[in-house]
Amino acid sequence: MGRNYAGILGPLGMILVIARALGNSGGVQATLWTGILTVAAMAAVGYILGELAAWIVEDSVRTKVANELAAIEAAKATKKKK
């Protein structure tokens, strides 16, 4: 998931830098350097956020499954006692 987020946020950063340069009549060389740095920074942020999101989802699912399995085992144990 981190790679997906990095792949989205990186180019989005470049698009925003180019749009800002077009609006402000910025120079090509300065715009490209700023764009490259923005792509790297936004891709890194996207990767971190994507990995964090994946970890949160996996942890949530793991917890739900563990709780359901514990409930099933408890129900089986209760039936055996009767």
Domain ranges of the chain: 2-81
pLDDT digits (tens, 9 = 90+) for 14-31: 999 999 999 888 889 989
Q: How far apart are CA 58 and CA 64, in angstroms?
A: 10
- Total-model pTM: 0.76
Q: How far apart are CA 28 and CA 18, in angstroms?
A: 9
Number of Cβ atoms within 10 Å of the Cβ of 64: 10
pLDDT digits (tens, 9 = 90+) for 57-68: 999 999 999 999
Q: How far apart are CA 67 and CA 51, in angstroms?
A: 24
Q: What type of residue is 80? A: K
**Angular region, 26: left φ>0, alpha ψ -120 to 50, beta rest:** beta
